[in-house]
Structure 1
Amino acid sequence: MAVALVGLVWAVVKNWGSLVSALAVLPWHIAFASVALAIVYVFFTMWSWKVILADLGSMLDWNVATQLFGISQIGKYIPGGVWNIVASAEIGRDHEIPAHRSVTAMTIAVLISLLSGTGIGTITVLSTSVSIQVPVWLIVLLLVVLIALLMPPVLNRLIGFGFKLLKRPVPERQMTFKGLGLATLLAVVAWIIAGIQVWVLACGFAMRPSMASLMLSIGAYALAWVVGFLVVFVPAGTGVRESVLGLFFAGVLSSGSVLAVVLISRIAMTIADLMFAGVGVLLKTRR
């Protein structure tokens, strides 16, 4: 927890000077809206995970779910990409949730975020003027593969294979179409909210509000998150996501405005993580 908090604080302090300069020219109500949207985004992410855990056999109320999810997400700020999964398993023991079930639920939640984020980002690349040197048929094939991986028969077999590979007992319950479908839907809603947050900030820095720019913002953030997650040696994708977002917005915002948007979005998401972690610690302490 101490190492995770240091990483989280570093994510805020690293670009503090540029952040203050950006906030000086941004209307306060837009900055407030970005934090509010970040909180809603984390809530839907937690809801998706809660649905997965319930489908696997552990039905949690919102009090316990906030404890487990809120505190474990601080682990994202330790390089490696797995510490939030480890944390959820450890905290889950206090609520009689088998470790393998906690690991499975958080792994599926991350996988759903990765696959749905990649799908949304890919569709965005196809539907905008962002130029890439990849054949259209290959992108369509990628979407088909992503959809196939999110089918319960395929996903359950992958999970079983992973546990056998680690010589661990296979989870006693498997994901159903209903549970996986609802969890994926909630993850997509979370991506839309995160994209709206980036869009609101970009419009605050003079980007023209339109449906096209909104779709660009949603896809750009989803793809930036995926790339940031895959680069495991930096805490919570710091710097990587910002670079990807900058590539998408280079044609519609000035370089200074792009930097301001990605910095404020990053800090708003960090504040949301801190708030959920704080509420989780408070609830756990009371328990």
Structure 2
Amino acid sequence: MKRLVRVAFLVVALGFGTWVVARQWDDIRAGFALLSWPGLVLSLLAVIAALGGGMMTWRALLADLGSPLPLRPAAKVFFVGQLGKYIPGSLWPVLAQMEMGKELGVPRSRSAAAFFLTMPVQLGSGLVISGVTLLAAMPGSAAPYAWVFLLIPVLAVAFEPRVVNAVLGFGLRKLRREPLERPLTRRGMLTALGWALLGWTAYGLHLAAIVHDFGPSGLSAIVFSVGAFALSWCLGIMTFVVPAGAGVREVAMVAILAPVLSQGQAITVALCSRIVIIVGDLVCAGAAGFAARRDVGPTHDQTTGKPV
């Protein structure tokens, strides 16, 4: 039964991912025709590295909460679960990760806590790196979005482990769940933030590889691309009602790229970026699932130590 549910989840997630591509196929085909193969390959490699950074962010938080997972099983849980973001509704990824994590002995409450902590970590680190890089590369480009950066002090307070642990404890009590056995530590939070910043840098390199084919190049263009991608993604993260922030991130990216590209070029770049990321998600999920097959074996509940 579990296998049937997992297959159904993958089929639905892949179906929505395919629909996103098919709906804009004419624009996508025209956009990709303007890009070089080296640029696309570099962009995809950077996306895979960035997705790896996201996985390591989540894995660091999960380990700090008491469930350290080996790399390959962790990658499978994260990347396969993340395909759920293409299904309308915001809870599919966390539900998938909770169920797959349970098979590895990770309590569902711990999987949920790691998932929901990953989002503010990515949001906070994304806002910081976008503010720094946009100001460094092109100071005036960040001015229209100054209101977004007002969230940084709020998130900085939220990253204090004592605050996080208190919020998690309150939420679990309201849900009538058992409290977390192990609180989040400052070291764990800093490790997660470090991985998140590396992930944003890789995402920026992915965008820079695409933008390069339209003219802008050099260190300034790369730094600007890091900020442009991080800020547009953060705006997408704030929109929970659409699959993977679909549409919101692209609109924001077109606006943020306006100082360096024409509107038509910016639209093409945003569409190509979206498709490369979808391909990256599929590649990572497929590779992680294949690699984790070698690790199949008895698992134990990481709370009780008993077989599951």
- TM-score, normalisation: structure 2: 0.86
The structural deviation recorded for 1:230 is: 2.2
- Which residue is equivalent to 1:225? 233
Q: How many Å separate the matches in 1 of 2:106 and 2:61?
A: 13
Query: How do 1:12-23 residues align onto structure 2 when only pairs under 5 Å count?
Result: 12-23=21-32
1:42 aligns with 2:42: no
* Local SS of the residue matching 1:170: coil
Q: CA RMSD in A?
A: 2.0
Counterpart contact for 1:81–1:232, Cα < 8 Å: yes
C-alpha separation in 1, matches of 2:86 and 2:150: 33
Tell me the percent identity.
Answer: 33
Deviation at 1:28, TM superposition (A): 0.7
Q: Is the contact between residue 127 and residue 149 of structure 2 (CA under 8 Å) also seen in structure 1? A: no
1:120 aligns with 2:102: no
Q: Tell me by how many angstroms 1:109 deviates.
A: 1.3
What amino acid maps onto 1:271 in structure 2? Answer: V
Write the letter of the residue equivalent to 1:130. S
Deviation at 1:176, TM superposition (A): 0.9
3-state SS, counterpart of residue 140 of structure 2? coil
Can you give the 5+ residue segments of structure 2 that lack an aligned partner in the other structure? 1-8, 297-308
Q: Is the 8 A contact 1:70 1:279 kept in 2?
A: no
Q: Is the 8 A contact 1:80 1:233 kept in 2?
A: yes
1:66–1:279 contact (8 Å) kept in structure 2: no
Asked if the contact 1:81/1:229 (under 8 Å) is kept, the reply is: no
Distance 1:133 1:238 in 2: 22
Matched, 1:200 2:223: no
> What is the CA-CA distance between 1:73 and the residue it aligns to?
0.5
Which of 172, 185, 207 is the matching residue for 2:194?
185
Structure 2: distance between partners of 1:70 and 1:248: 29
Pairwise CA distance, 1:125: 5.7
More off after superposition, 230-239 vs 187-196: 230-239
Query: Is 1:129 matched up with 2:140?
Result: yes
Alignment partners' CA distance in 1, 2:126 and 2:251: 17
Deviations 1:53-102 (A, max 9, x none): 11111111112112111110101111222221111001111111110011
| Aligned residue among 269, 272, 288 for 1:261 | 269
Q: What is the SS of the residue equivalent to 1:129?
A: helix
User: How many residues are matched?
Assistant: 284
Amino acid at match of 1:237: G
Q: Kindly tell me: are residues 283 and 251 of structure 1, through their superposed partners in 2, closer, same or farther at Cα, counting changes over 3 Å?
A: same
Q: Which amino acid aligns with 1:41?
A: A
- Contact 2:131 2:142 (C-alpha < 8 Å) held by counterparts: no
CA-to-aligned-CA distance 1:177-219 (integer Å, 9 cap, x gap): 11110111110110111012112211211124332x3332212
C-alpha distance 234-143 of structure 1, shift in aligned 2 (>3 A): closer
Structure 1: stretches of 5+ with no match in the other structure = none
Deviates more, 1:228-237 or 1:81-90: 228-237
Taking structure 1 as the reference length, what is the TM-score of the superposition? 0.91
- For residue 133 of structure 1, report the CA deviation from its aligned partner: 5.9
Q: Distance in 2 between matches of 1:140 and 1:198?
A: 22
2:161 pairs with 1:166: no
Q: Give the distance between the partners of 1:19 and 1:140, measured in 2 at CA.
A: 32
Q: Secondary structure at 1:89's aligned position in 2? A: helix
